[in-house]
Amino acid sequence: MPKERPLWRGAAFRLCVLSAALLLCLQLAVRRSWCPEERPRLPAVAASGRAVPQPRGTAAASGRRRVTYVRSGRRGGRPGRKTARWHIELQPWASPTPSLNYEALRFLKYISTSQISCEHMNLSSLRGNSEVMKRPWSVCLDERFSLIHRLRNKQCRLYSLGLGNDDNQFEISMANSGCEVHRFDPSIKSAHIQEGQHLWYHRLSVDWRDPNPAIAAHKLHSNTKKLGTILNEFGHQKIDVLKADVESAEWKILENLILEDVVEQIGQLVFEVHIHWPGFEVSGNDSTVVRYWYSLLRELELKDFRLFHTYKDLSKPQMLLKKEAFNASSCYTLSWVNTRWK
Ligand SMILES: *[C@@H]1O[C@H](CO)[C@@H](O)[C@H](O)[C@H]1NC(C)=O
Ligand SMILES: *[C@@H]1O[C@H](CO)[C@@H](O)[C@H](O)[C@H]1NC(C)=O
Ligand SMILES: *[C@@H]1O[C@H](CO)[C@@H](O)[C@H](O)[C@H]1NC(C)=O
């Protein structure tokens, strides 16, 4: 056993050097390809060469030497240009004739069943955390997933989408554990606030589309952006954890992340989902809505996300689409880990 250690260390060192080199290449590649593959879907934006006002004054320069190749797959996994998708793939109906009953049963069973087990979800076990969470914002800290390692190496990054009045205990705990935390909250007083060494607040709300460039030009600066846009502007390639508590905007935001492949840049998702009404800009009859929710989550599964924790909030109204039925709660907190993510 002791004889194995130097060997293991040698391998680990080589791996480190390799990943460092890979990271460098990657950063160079991404820096050069400011123009991401989403462009073809936004002709007006592509024509003008800039999507949104740039805070760092780099837009003009990068606009001029705009390269139009598609960002290449980070691990060689993305073959060429993908056809832009406007819609997610809808799953077949749960029953031969569409019925809310069958859709709801299938969906509720799905969100109540973990797909992978996670042993360590307790943030309190990390250094610097004494408080016990009031709410179940569970992340998976098992050794087989990267989060715990990235926390230890202080490489972790958390994005938190919220609306003002929520408690920030989870964010503070993650920041205390060494995670770089970015909290997006449209209600704060100035554009960016830093609180402590690792915690930033940004006056931005994350949406499922960028503002119309014509409108944005008049308004000078907009506080609403897509997550992919924010990542580009901040120069961030990865988010270890994305937490969202956005009062029913989560469905369209999730759809946007899936359609633009932004989910692939995320290690774990912790979403509060609301089912007492369809959600912003989700339409159709009740069975159509539930089928759409279910289909969205199946797309996540297709991208190798696995649900490891599910929490039914019994303190909220117990209803699904305004009906007190199916023993459903209007609110669940769901946590996924991206099993493909390194
Ligand atoms: C809901 O709408 C879908 C699609 O328009 C339709 O196929 C289905 O029959 C409707 N379901 C119910 C229960 O009315
Ligand atoms: C998490 O750990 C703390 C201390 O390590 C313990 O007091 C608390 O009960 C644990 N919480 C859960 C939900 O296991
Ligand atoms: C309803 O849900 C609660 C909480 O999940 C559970 O304890 C209870 O057994 C359920 N009741 C029925 C009738 O399924």
Dist. CA 177–CA 153, nearest whole Å: 10
Return the ligand number nearest the Cα of 310. Answer: 3
DSSP per-residue string spanning 69-133: SPPPPTTS-S-SPPPP-SSPPPPPPSSSS--HHHHHHHHHHHHTS-SS--S---GGGSTT--SPP
| Average pLDDT over every residue of 29-54 | 32
* Residue located nearest, by CA, to atom 2 of ligand 3: 327
**Any residues with Cβ below 6 Å from ligand 3, and which?**
312, 327
* Residue located nearest, by CA, to atom 14 of ligand 2: 122
**Any residues with Cβ below 6 Å from ligand 2, and which?**
122, 124-125, 132
Average pLDDT taken over every residue of the chain:
78
Which band of pLDDT confidence, cut at 50, 70 and 90, is reported for residue 21? low
Dist. CA 62–CA 33, nearest whole Å: 9
Note the pLDDT tens digit of each residue in 229-254: 999 999 999 999 999 999 999 999 99
Dist. CA 69–CA 56, nearest whole Å: 23
Alpha-carbon distances of 254 from 25, 177, 181, 240, rounded to whole Å? 29, 27, 20, 16
Return the ligand number nearest the Cα of 291. Answer: 1
* Residue located nearest, by CA, to atom 1 of ligand 1: 285
- The answer on pLDDT for 32 being more than 90 is no
Distance 123 CA to ligand 2 centre (A): 8
Return the ligand number nearest the Cα of 141. Answer: 2
Note the pLDDT tens digit of each residue in 144-194: 999 999 999 999 999 999 887 677 889 999 999 989 999 998 888 888 989
For the purposes of burial, counting CB atoms within 10 Å of the CB of 18, is it exposed (0-12), middle (13-18) or buried (19 or more)? exposed
Dist. CA 90–CA 76, nearest whole Å: 28
Distance 115 CA to ligand 2 centre (A): 23
Distance 204 CA to ligand 1 centre (A): 37
Which band of pLDDT confidence, cut at 50, 70 and 90, is reported for residue 60? very low
φ and ψ at residue 159, rounded to 5 degrees: -110, 135
- The answer on pLDDT for 27 being more than 80 is no
The CATH class given to the 106-338 domain equals alpha beta
